[in-house]
Chain A
Amino acid sequence: MTWNMEKFSTIALLLLLVPVCMAAQQPDSLFAEGNRFYGSGAYQDAVTRYEALVASGHANASVYYNLGNAHYKLQDLASAILYYEKARKLDPADPDIEANLNFVNLGITDRIQPLPEFFIESWWRGLVFSQTLTMWSVLAVIAWLLAFALLAAYLYAYRPRLKRAAFYGGVAVMVVALSLLAVAYTQHRIQTDHRDAVVFRGKVPVKSAPAEGEKTLFVIHEGTKVRIADEVNDWIKVTLPNGNEGWIESAVVKVI
């Protein structure tokens, strides 16, 4: 009975450790090289190193963050915002990314007042994005396995008190595991459903319909983040945090 439990948890631990051990050697040196260039002020060289990392599939919150910094130093605010947003998507809880994004956003032309939202909504989003998706899913799986381990212990417990404790504990941990899964799933859905983009042209007229001749509703400027709501041919429908929406050409934005 006790042996069974031990075996169970050992397997679970081993299974968790396996993906963590997979790491490559080559990108480390590229990253360090980029950092060295950045440190010496050769921001363009740093950018090429970091971009090589991204191109080779080693995209990473840190790489995107450093790319954003390098682009900021090269005074390319739109690119800086794009990469900071990419970094934040991968690591929504990182305070550095948040700080730099906020700082750089002060430098762009458009100031957009977001619509007020219900406090529970913002609280929930704050919770969902307080950890990375990987962190949430790891926690959820651990809780899930722990819940079943406790329920199994309930099956084998001999003394009635122990048996009762194992049962209620198992049910409670199961509830926790399901909540964690819900949080992770929410973050996953938000990230896959919401496609955001950054404007890369100095001045972009936002039209009322996907055609050049339509009325211009308002004008947005370089560096502004928009949400892609729809797509027709070469045009995308964008929404702003303040609720405005309209159509712009898809060529003027880069998708985060």
Chain B
Amino acid sequence: MVTRIFLFLWLCWAGGARAQELTVTASASQNATAGAPFEVRFTVNGQAERFHPPTFGAGLRVVSGPNQSTSMRSINGQTTTSLTIGYHLMAEKEGEYTIPPVVVEAKGKQYRSEALTVKVQQGSATTGGTGNAGGGRSANTATADAGKQLFIRAVPDKREVYQGQQLVVSYKLYTNVQITGNMPEKMPVLNGFWSRNVSAGDERTVWTEEVVDGVRYQTTVLQQYILFPERSGQLHIDPMEMTFVIRQPVATNDPFERFFGGSYREVELKVKSPQVPIQVKPLPAEGRPEGFDGAVGNFTFSTAVDRTELKANEALNYTLKVTGTGNLHLLNAPGVRLPETIERYDPKVNDRINESPGGVSGSREFSYLMIPRHEGTYALPPVSFSYFDPTAKRYVALPSEAYTLQVAKGDAAQPVAAFTPGAQQDVKVLDRDIRYIKTRTPRFDTGGGFWGSGWFFALLLAGPVLFGAAWVYRDRQRERNRDAGLVRNRNANKVAAKHLAVARRQLNAGDSKPFYEAVYKGLYGYVADKLDIPVASLNKDFIAEQLRERRVDDALIARMAETLDLCEMARFAPLSGVSEAEVYEKARQLINDMEHGKI
């Protein structure tokens, strides 16, 4: 501001000598750097009527402007007017840029400025302001030596840690200039770390003195994090970026100004802390206890049960407490194995964790609410908590106490939970696995399967072959039987005649019993031979049936039955009303009829 007015005044004075003639001059600020705004000014001495703004070439960006200011002065009654039009431009790359001339119209005449060449140097990352978009106040770009007067450093308390081991990193501000304002630009992301921000107890900034490289600085802690590396390898602590507004004294020869404390200017300064590498070592695989869950630090472990004797369906608390320093936030509940009949709820986590610049310390408590549903004696097996001690570089396993619960029968007033409706649960499938091997020794037959084997085909063939054999055998037997039947049939008459001849002899001799027997035998034998039935299986009914089947005349069958009846009766008791000669005649007649009856 001060310099600008100064420059302006000087320009006005220079132009004032030839006040009548209108002049247009272009000027640019020195030390233009890429990425930082610089100023280009067009000064018109005289009464300008119209100003044609310039078009800036590619690579130049207008940050602000046109900013216009006019001044008027009168010397010896002669008034001169000057108009200054300023632009803040920014070049993206270094190089030479040409500012084209501007055209000013006055009294119908055109005046143009000279073309201006601006040399833009390579910008540095640490210095440079974002320009004063507000336009009210002009902040100059910082000079290079400001970087030595003000800087931020990330200071870790350890450079080499184990995975999960906590480290504290402090972003510290070092300054020996006066700071009038600050604005955070970019807070660190801290990838690869699980981080906790340590909040300062009081809001006031505490300044301390520190000497770095022989220079005395005022330092303060801007931000403090407790970090837990989440993976091993080379990790980086991200830079923190802030913009400060500092006051820089300006050298002046003016004794008045010096008297009033000298002039100074306000400079915006962008500050970035350097990246800090952190070497993270993996936790050793050797000696890792069963159930190790990533706890790193220094801990103690205690367990407690609020009661060991209770009734069924009453609740008890089982508390596991981890106390110490380390990654307490990341601790999971140690694996608790309970008998299946004890109902267990998810643990309640109760933290008393203190985050201080010294690190994370405190305790984490896991509280299980458990309800035994049935009476009995239950053992709570000991729980083991293990952690890695980074200072001793070894794993530590802390076993807990084992407890025995005595559960008495529940109150009668309280119905057993198993009988309340809806208390039944589905059997939960916890996990799946393959089925177990076959333990029964199988039959080891070296040959192939039955299918296609010799036996298979032999048996298949055996069916039809045996059937054929049976067929042939039956046919042959039937043939033979038929022959025998024919012979019997043919001889039936003869045999019967023989029997009748015997009967005749008995009749003549007067022996009635042998007579009837002979007649009976003759008749039966005849029928049996005729029908080809064994004599043993003969009886009257069967004979009648067989005769009927062979379509013998019913009258004949009736006579046969009658005659056989007569003979049968006469064998056991003397007959009356029928003479033996008549019976004989009947039998003879019967055989004769049947012989001609074609049976």
Contacts and interface: CB of A to CB of B under 8 A. Distances in A.
B455 A19 contact: yes
Contacts of B256: none
A99 B455 CA distance: 34
A23 B437 contact: no
B434 A69 contact: yes
A144 B464 CA distance: 9
B535 to A, nearest CB: 18
Contact of B460 (A60, A96, A136, A144): A144
Interface string B417-437: 000000000000000111111
Interface string A128-165: 00001110111001001101100110011000000000
> Which one of B438, B440, B452, B467 has the highest number of Cβ atoms from chain A below 10 Å of its Cβ?
B438
B6 interface: no
Contacts of A72: 434
A104 B434 contact: yes
A152 B467 contact: yes
A69 B435 CA distance: 8
B445 interface: yes
Interface string B451-464: 11101101110111
A54 B510 CA distance: 98
A151 B441 contact: no
B250 interface: no
A31 B437 CA distance: 11
A58 interface: yes
Given A58-B444, A155-B471, A15 B437 contact: no
Interface string A48-73: 00000100011011110110011010
Given A133-B451, A134-B449, A62 B440 contact: yes
A109 to B, nearest CB: 19
Contacts of B445: 19, 22-24
B441 A155 contact: no
B466 A35 contact: no
Given A133-B449, A155-B474, A69 B436 contact: yes
Contacts of B458: 15
B208 interface: no
B469 to A, nearest CB: 9
B231 to A, nearest CB: 26
B350 to A, nearest CB: 40
A64 B471 CA distance: 49
B437 A66 contact: yes
A157 to B, nearest CB: 10
A18 B456 CA distance: 12
Contact of A156 (B444, B450, B453, B474): B474
Interface of B: 432-447, 449-453, 455-456, 458-460, 462-464, 466-467, 470-471, 473-474
10 tightest A-B CB contacts, nearest first: A148-B463, A62-B438, A27-B444, A137-B451, A152-B470, A66-B437, A62-B442, A148-B467, A58-B444, A100-B434
